[in-house]
């Protein structure tokens, strides 16, 4: 029998499994606390569990752990980037960022990505597999342990498309926010998507109270389809309509991400069209100077980003320019993993 990934189980699932094998229900809660509050790395550390049950746990379950393969600390910002090795030998990236309001972590949701955005390093070598809930949780647990810092904000903006790994991401969020576990408020979680329309609707039905961030990056379909192939399936109009439904259903504001790329999506017309598109929508726009990746020669002159911001402002849309962080440590999505597998 294959051992089960115990960290990916909800408390209810763990209770059901233990009770059906003749254990008392409260044992599940004890074990769950060891895993998600004390964050132990082996069953043998669970000192209030009997030797017989420990033997059973060791036989039937495993605790999925990550290994730090590389760790890069930025000398220009308070950023630490981890390259984690998964139990099957794959690599993912996690970034720890210090802001005025606390520690924020950017986690991966897949090994590689299918979405094919031309500016993104995560997708170049294609898709390998989805991450398990345990592997998303462990990025947080392991990073907290290594850094000694308490994480207060979580963004799903690392490698992968979170809504393409929908069930595992939702399970991860449920475990993360469970009262008997880390009890993290989902108000402090941001899920970023390239625009999988049916999944945005599915997410809005769950009313999780998290922040949705939509990677728009162009305001006309021709350009967006060139740089984001997902647009050929769900175009801008369909995407914005889904965003409208999301806002209506959840009462939450959406963040739009727009990486300004010289000569691709930075013109005055693109800015005016964007303002038109977002008019009346409860949203915020983040402009990002595109992070240069080796495989493409995209650039982003800061004066073009400011010009784009001013154009939006003149049309009544406020936008902030996101700082590029960790430029000295390859912090753009997927660059470190890319180097490692090469």
The contact set with ligand SAH (CB under 6 A) reads 115, 117, 119-120, 157, 161, 192-194, 215, 257, 259, 288, 290-291, 293, 332-333
Q: Which one from 93, 135, 257, 270 is the annotated catalytic residue?
A: 93
Is the Cβ–Cβ distance between 270 and 223 less than 8 Å? Answer: yes
CB of 25 to ligand SAH, least distance (A): 38
Closest CA to 275 of 235, 234, 318: 318
Take residue 289 and report the two structure tokens written for it.
């100077």
Give CA torsion, residues 204, 206, 210, 212, to 10 deg.
-20
Q: CB of residue 208 vs ligand SAH: minimum separation in angstroms?
A: 17
Question: C-beta of 293: minimal distance to ligand SAH in Å?
Answer: 5
Which is nearer to ligand SAH, 11 or 170 (by Cβ)? 170
CB 88 within 8 A of CB 71: no
The distance of closest approach from Cβ of residue 162 to ligand SAH in the complex, given in angstroms and rounded to an integer, is 6
Find, among 145, 285, 308, the residue nearest to 214 by Cα: 285
Is 117 among the residues known to form the active site?
A: no
Residue 334 and residue 120: Cα distance in Å, rounded? 8
Residue 333 annotated among the catalytic residues of the structure: yes
Q: Are strands 110-112 and 127-130 parallel, antiparallel or unpaired?
A: antiparallel
Active-site choice (23, 161, 333, 340): 333
Phi-psi region of 251 (alpha: psi -120 to 50; beta: other; left: phi over 0): left
Asked if 304 contacts 260 with a C-beta cutoff of 8 angstroms, the reply is yes
- Residue 291 CA to chain centroid, in angstroms? 18
CB 74 within 8 A of CB 328: yes
Instruction: Give whichever of 43 and 298 is closer to ligand SAH, judged by the CB atom.
Output: 298
* Radius of gyration, alpha carbons of the chain: 21
Cβ closest to ligand SAH, residue 39 vs residue 217: 217
- CB nearer to ligand SAH: pick between 177 and 192: 192
| Distance in Å, CB of 123 to ligand SAH, minimum | 9
Q: Which CB, 34 or 256, lies closer to ligand SAH?
A: 256
Sequence-separated (6 or more) residues with CB below 8 Å from residue 67: 84, 85
Count Cβ atoms below 10 Å from residue 72 Cβ, excluding itself. 18
- Residues sharing a CB contact under 8 Å with residue 112, sequence separation 6 or more, in sequence order: 122, 123, 125, 126, 127, 128, 129, 159, 160
Scanning the structure block, which residue is given the tokens 């929908």?
A: 166
Q: Which is nearer to ligand SAH, 61 or 308 (CB)?
A: 308
Residue 170: partners with Cβ closer than 8 Å, 6 or more residues away: 206
Q: How far is the CB of 295 from ligand SAH (least distance, A)?
A: 10
328 within 8 A of 340, measured Cβ to Cβ = no
What are 334's two structure tokens?
Answer: 């997927």
In whole angstroms, how close is the CB of 258 to ligand SAH at the nearest point? 9
Active-site annotation, residues: 93, 333
């Amino acid at each position: 029998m294959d051992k089960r990934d115990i960290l990916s189980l909800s408390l209810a699932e763990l209770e059901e499994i233990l009770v059906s094998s003749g254990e008392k229900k409260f044992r599940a809660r004890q074990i769950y606390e060891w895993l998600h509050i004390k964050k132990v790395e082996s069953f043998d550390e669970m000192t209030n569990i009997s030797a017989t049950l420990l033997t059973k746990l060791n036989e039937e379950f495993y605790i999925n752990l990550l290994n730090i393969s590389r760790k890069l600390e930025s000398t220009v910002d308070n950023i630490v980037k981890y390259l984690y090795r998964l139990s099957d030998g794959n690599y993912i990236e996690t970034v720890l960022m210090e802001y005025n309001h606390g520690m924020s972590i950017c986690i991966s949701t897949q090994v590689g990505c299918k979405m094919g955005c031309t500016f993104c390093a995560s997708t170049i070598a294609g898709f390998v597999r989805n991450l398990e809930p345990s592997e998303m949780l462990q990025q947080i647990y392991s990073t907290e342990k290594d850094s000694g810092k308490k994480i207060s904000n979580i963004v799903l903006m690392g490698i992968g498309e979170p809504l393409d790994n929908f069930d595992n991401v939702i399970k991860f969020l449920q475990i993360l926010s469970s009262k008997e576990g880390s009890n993290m408020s989902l108000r402090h979680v941001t899920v970023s998507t390239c625009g999988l329309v049916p999944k945005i609707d599915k997410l809005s039905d769950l009313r999780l109270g998290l922040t949705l961030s939509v990677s728009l990056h162009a305001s006309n379909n021709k350009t967006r389809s060139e740089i984001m192939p997902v647009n050929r399936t769900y175009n801008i109009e369909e995407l914005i309509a889904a965003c409208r439904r999301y806002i209506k259903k959840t009462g939450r504001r959406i963040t739009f991400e727009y990486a300004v790329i010289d000569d691709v999506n930075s013109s005055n017309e693109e800015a005016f069209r964007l303002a038109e598109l977002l008019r009346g929508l409860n949203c915020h726009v983040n402009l990002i100077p595109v992070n240069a990746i080796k495989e493409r020669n995209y650039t982003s002159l800061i004066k073009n980003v400011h010009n784009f911001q001013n154009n939006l402002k003149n049309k009544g849309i406020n936008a902030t320019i996101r700082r590029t962080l960790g430029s000295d440590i390859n912090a753009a999505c997927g660059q470190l993993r890319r180097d490692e597998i090469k």
